[in-house]
């Protein structure tokens, strides 16, 4: 088993780090709010440190799951950042959803220090993290990926290398682009059913078994119909991710008209006070429109 560090104990990182400890690894955690790290240690064992650098010292692999590009830069590059504590030959695995640009930047900085860097964003939401059933999409050198995959398997149902540095983040963008359109379509279908006087549950029972079926439909329609929107990935974070997608599309020439439209719909949800609602709250926007 390996000596590991895990940086960032949010709704995803907290259970992911727990799976690593449960698998027999020696895990040291860091979280910006120390009380969260103390809670994790009390629940799972392991150890905590008050800086990323201290957490990373002596670890063969350091995993991160933080908020955005700036958070990742800080946790890696500041004087007390992880890179300052990592040894040559160690591996940094980033599970944060960030831009491919910052991924490649940090990959190059890490390489100059003899540290491997694997971008490994995840899909599957909080439930996937808690159940160890995440889909993990990776970019980086094959050798580094091969070493990381053995550890990532502790919380993954599927882990794949898609290419060199940044390929994992590009694949996560594809994931978010697909989800945005699916959730809007499901929201419109449920809204239409309500306006037509149909039983939404009966409608989904029928259409989910045909070509309209999707993970979003199977896992979110009931909470959507019950007006419960605290079951997963928040609108604020989705807008962050879609912003990355749209910015990257401007660079590579991809056309994302539906993604751009749904991003604005999520902006409307934020105006309704739903920034912390989950992404299925697009239905609330339609209901608010009458």
Catalytic positions: 172
Token look-up 């697009």 returns 282
Where is 203: in which H helix or E strand? helix 200-207
Residue with tokens 């993604």: 259
- The DSSP letter of residue 89 is T
- What DSSP string describes 39-80? HHHHHH-SEE-SSHHHHHTT-SEEEE--SSHHHHHHHHHSTT
Using CA atoms, how far apart are residues 49 and 40, in angstroms rounded to an integer? 12
Question: What is the DSSP code string of 2-29?
Answer: -EEEEE--STTHHHHHHHHHHTT-EEEE
Q: Which two tokens stand for residue 179?
A: 């989800």
Q: How far apart are CA 91 and CA 61, in angstroms?
A: 5
């Amino acid at each position: 088993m390996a000596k590991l560090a895990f940086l960032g104990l949010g709704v995803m990182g907290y259970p992911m780090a727990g799976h690593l400890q449960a698998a027999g690894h020696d895990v040291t955690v860091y979280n910006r709010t120390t009380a969260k790290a103390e809670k994790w240690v009390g629940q799972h064992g392991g150890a905590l440190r008050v800086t990323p650098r201290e957490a990373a010292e002596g670890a063969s692999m350091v995993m991160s799951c933080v908020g955005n590009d700036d958070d990742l830069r800080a946790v890696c590059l500041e004087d007390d950042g992880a890179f300052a504590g990592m040894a040559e030959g160690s591996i940094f695995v980033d599970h944060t959803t960030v831009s491919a640009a910052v991924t490649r930047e940090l990959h190059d900085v890490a390489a100059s220090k003899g540290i491997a860097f694997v971008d490994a964003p995840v899909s599957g939401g909080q439930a996937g993290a808690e159940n160890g059933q995440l889909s993990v999409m990776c970019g980086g050198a094959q050798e580094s990926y091969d070493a990381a995959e053995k550890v990532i398997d502790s919380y993954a149902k599927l882990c794949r290398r898609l290419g060199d540095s940044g390929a994992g983040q590009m694949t996560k963008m594809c994931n978010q682009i697909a989800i945005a359109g699916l959730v809007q379509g499901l929201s419109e279908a449920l809204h239409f059913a309500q306006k037509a006087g149909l039983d939404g549950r009966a409608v989904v029972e029928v259409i989910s078994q045909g070509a309209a079926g999707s993970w979003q439909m199977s896992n979110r329609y009931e909470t959507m119909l019950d007006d419960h929107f605290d079951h997963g990935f928040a609108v604020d974070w989705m807008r962050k991710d879609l912003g990355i997608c749209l910015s990257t599309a401007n660079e590579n020439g991809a056309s994302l008209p539906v993604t751009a439209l749904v991003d604005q719909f999520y902006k409307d949800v934020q105006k309704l006070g739903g920034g912390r609602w989950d992404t299925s709250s697009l239905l609330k926007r339609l209901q608010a429109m009458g």
